[in-house]
Amino acid sequence: MKTVIRQLTEAFGPSGYETEVTELIKTMVAKHADEVKTDVLGNLIAIKNGSQDGQSIMFAAHTDEIGVVVTHIDDQGFLRFGSVGGVGISTLVGNRVRFAGGAVGAIYQEKGSWKELTLDKLYVDIGAENKEEALKKVKVGEFGIFHREFEDLGDRLIAKSMDDRVGCAVLIEALKKIQNPKNTLYFVFTAQEEVGLRGARTAAYGLEPDLGIALDVTLTGDMPEARRMAVSLGKGAAIKVKDSSLITHPKVKDLLVTLAEENKIPYQMEVLEAGGTDAGAIHLTKAGVPSGAISIPTRYVHSPSEMVDMRDVEACVNLVVALAEKDLASV
């Protein structure tokens, strides 16, 4: 599974331009699903038929990652850029980006104080000596991502775009493991989550599931002087109670807790005070879809060094499998 996570986190897929990631996932899920398709927004949908008619579950993990877009190239060949999704300014200076066409560059700042740092005071140096040379490597309007390789620290892993490739990896692994699906399962690898839960919205509209579950990363509070939050790395799958996009349906929350307890899967309860997930979009689809989320505790989210714990990842896989095999008609 670590290999899958490595491959996924090293792929290129800023919001709207997720094709490389979806193509990779397609090769991983093709033989385990009954049907695989894509849609207008760029969602990849893998369908596994259930053993009985009626209930369907949509699992969603997003393929896109935060990134940058080139907005200007100056005469000296330096690039200016805008953000794609919620990019944290403090993670940028000295960082590297890689563009769709392959160009790599370093981000640095104009003179001035850290406190007043804004995106338009930063630039990317792609090693071009002038505008003409730069234009051979990148175009204005080209998208890029933060360039960083995967690190295996043992139980814990660091990579860029763990948010949410680790969620994709959980779904891929679960899909392989599921033996007796009682429900029709839609594994949706969604596009454009980071810019407003967009892919999940159109996918859910087409699929009309009975239950929606997002697999995404959540924050933790177990670092030095961290913002208060009762989620820690290594303490199990996080069952979401609320975030800014969703209040988990109480019955869905209780079902996930019961499943975790019955199957001895370590879990923790998650109250996320800012941020949202695809479940936020899914539950407002048409006349409403009861929804919840299983979260992978992750440190340093939206930095190029997002850290997860494999034990939590495995707990999430097991919880997805348990839910997929549960007879929902009985709940």
Binding site for other proteins (CB under 8 A): 15-17, 39-41, 69, 71-72, 74, 80, 82-84, 120, 139-141, 143, 192, 195, 198, 201-203, 205-206, 221, 228-230, 241-242, 244, 247-250, 253, 268-271, 273, 283-290
- CB nearer to other proteins: give 35 or 120: 120
- CB nearer to other proteins: give 82 or 88: 82
149 catalytic, yes or no?
A: no
DSSP assignment letter at 130: S
Q: How many angstroms separate the CA atoms of 16 and 192, rounded?
A: 6
- CB nearer to other proteins: give 31 or 287: 287
Least Cβ distance, residue 239 to other proteins (angstroms): 8
- CB nearer to other proteins: give 153 or 257: 257
User: Burial of 80 by CB count in 10 Å (0-12 exposed, 13-18 middle, 19+ buried)?
Assistant: middle
- CB nearer to other proteins: give 33 or 289: 289
Least Cβ distance, residue 176 to other proteins (angstroms): 28
Q: Mind giving me the DSSP string for 46-100? A: EEE--SSSS-EEEEEEE--B-EEEEEEE-TTSEEEEEEES---GGGTTT-EEEET
Answer yes or no: are the C-beta atoms of 296 and 303 closer than 8 Å: no
Least Cβ distance, residue 289 to other proteins (angstroms): 7
Q: How many angstroms separate the CA atoms of 61 and 43, rounded?
A: 10
171 three-class SS = helix
Least Cβ distance, residue 22 to other proteins (angstroms): 13
The one catalytic residue among 18, 193, 194, 325: 193
Least Cβ distance, residue 229 to other proteins (angstroms): 7
Q: How many Cβ atoms are within 10 Å of 51's Cβ, its own excluded?
A: 11
User: Facing residues of 153 across strands?
Assistant: none
Rg of the chain over CA atoms, in angstroms? 20
Residues with a catalytic annotation lie at 193
